[in-house]
Structure 1
Amino acid sequence: MAVLLSKGRFRARLAQSDEDLAAAQALRTRAFGTGALDADAFDPVCAHVLVEDLQDEGALVCCFRMLTMDSGAEIGRSYSAQFYDLSSLEGFSGRMVEMGRFCIHPDRTDPDILRVAWGAMTAYVDRNGIQMLFGCSSFAGTETAEYLDAFAMLKHRHLAPKRWLPRVKAPDVFRFASKLRRRPDVKKAMLRMPPLLRTYLMMGGWVSDHAVVDRHMNTLHVFTGLEIGAIPPARKRLLRAVAG
């Protein structure tokens, strides 16, 4: 069993079988509420991380998948490249991982689940010499009105560096960086920010200047990147303490 991390009652491991993948797909289907089984052509080429509750007969409580690339030259084969023009990242020379389909069981609220998931990701990044982590960070629903403070904060504090900034590709987008003029209410913004995206931002992550309206998944999502070398030292120590 390829265990990445075991902490308290939770264990994170890599999927090893078709049964493991089927369990992850079933959890995703329930968490995302897509109706039909959440499975696609990226599943067979990704590594899948399962977070299990050892005090509940190994019940699956969280999962995500990872697509590893040797450099930005391969970014066109990523899931995100379907929705964003990522040609600006083709010159990134280091190894990259796309993290996707992240979900936590809707009946589970223990904050340690997210911590263990990030600890497992940190262990994977360290073991494989990854220099950038990226993916699509999703807001529930496709209406922008309730997230305006969150988008305003992304505009004012967290836009991607110009050299990496994704360009528009999807037909239906919300160009928040050019359209929003409001100053963000920080408290409201953080309350509406998805937990996964909040964690990215705390570590120095950045986002695209527009959100994609994904009606199939019933989400708004922003491209999110995190350069491992840019993570603040104190935050990196904390992550590695969890991963250790």
Structure 2
Amino acid sequence: MQPLSTGRYRVRLAQSERDLAAAQALRGRVFRTGAATDRDDFDAICRHVLVEDGQDRLMCCFRLLPLPGGAAIGTSYSAQFYDLAALSAFAAPMIEVGRFCLAPGCHDPDVLRLAWGALASEVAAQDAGMLFGCSSFHGLDWRAYADCFAALAGRHLAPERWRPQAKAPQLVHYAQALAGQIPDLRRAQLTMPPLLRSYLAMGGWVSDHAVVDEDLGTLHVFTGLEIAAIPPARARVLRMGAVPVSGAGSAGAGPIDVCGARL
């Protein structure tokens, strides 16, 4: 992945142990209240993406695990929590996106725009057919997200041919519990993680159940986005985020709506 920039921010791959430590520290602040760092064994096999501002402050990070196809999906982080046997038939390369987080207080849409630019660059480089991962909700009280889960159940469940099955010991079968419930869509949007909003706006889908992750203090749903299913207009917006660094020619963009996801 080549470095990308909007002028105010730049995105690059971690190149050193220091870079990785910075990402793990931000993850610790976001995912583990009071913890100095967040790390696991998957860090060693993933590529780590950093979005920094002009003062080298880390504003966003996430990690990528490229897979040659669905036959390798059992080696992914998500496979610890979901039965992904249906996706083992997916023939094209895949990329798992994990530990996506924004620095506390970061509300500039350009940060998310650059993150999607980095993802677009990786999709092109890997000729990937699907992005997938776990979309996390802070806290363990799923009822606090009832409108959001009702919207997911009514509009965004995975197609049967790819649908993840239950595997984790602690689950919330929200699609069953909220069947027929009409959500407050404004409240659903306000409580939905920004990255998940972007996935859904481009045609993404989710599992019909949420996993209770007591280790991170979150709820999460498996999320998939088939690249071929992205509407052409959305695909153009996604590609627009992939603007290579070009020195003085990299003018900063103003606040934008990134694939329907406002921060």
How high is the TM-score relative to the length of structure 1?
A: 0.96
Q: CA deviation at 1:36?
A: 5.3
1:4 and 1:123 in contact (8 A); partners too: no
Amino acid at match of 2:63: R
* Equivalent residue, structure 2, for 1:137: 135
* SS state at 1:135 partner: strand
Asked if 1:194 is matched to 2:193, the reply is: yes
Amino acid at match of 1:169: K
Asked if 1:44 is matched to 2:44, the reply is: yes
Q: CA deviation at 1:216?
A: 0.8
Distance 2:218 2:75 in 1: 22
- Correspondence list, 1:79-94, <5 A: 79-94=77-92
* SS state at 1:42 partner: helix
1:120 maps to which of 115, 118, 126: 118
* Equivalent residue, structure 1, for 2:213: 214
- Correspondence list, 1:1-244, <5 A: 3-34=2-33, 35=35, 37-54=37-54, 56=55, 58-181=56-179, 182-244=181-243
Amino acid at match of 1:192: T
Runs (4+) of structure 1 exceeding 4 A deviation are none
Q: Which stretch shifts more, 162-171 or 174-183?
A: 174-183
Percent of aligned positions that are identical: 59
Q: CA deviation at 1:107?
A: 2.5
- The count of corresponding residues between Structure 1 and Structure 2 is 241
Q: Deviations over 1:75-128 (max 9, x none)?
A: 000000000000010000000000000011103221211111111111111122
Distance 1:130 1:6 in 2: 23
2:26 and 2:37 in contact (8 A); partners too: no
Q: CA deviation at 1:33?
A: 2.7
1:133 and 1:225 in contact (8 A); partners too: yes
1:4 and 1:124 in contact (8 A); partners too: no
2:172 and 2:212 in contact (8 A); partners too: yes
* SS state at 2:241 partner: helix
Distance 1:24 1:103 in 2: 9
Q: CA deviation at 1:8?
A: 2.0
How high is the TM-score relative to the length of structure 2?
A: 0.89
Distance 1:102 1:192 in 2: 17
Where structure 2 has 5 or more consecutive residues not aligned to the other structure, the ranges are 244-263
Distance 1:51 1:36 in 2: 20
1:118 and 1:239 in contact (8 A); partners too: yes
* SS state at 2:169 partner: coil
Amino acid at match of 1:74: A
Cα gap change, 1:80/1:174 in structure 2, threshold over 3 Å: closer, same or farther?
A: same
Distance 2:159 2:3 in 1: 32
Amino acid at match of 2:149: F
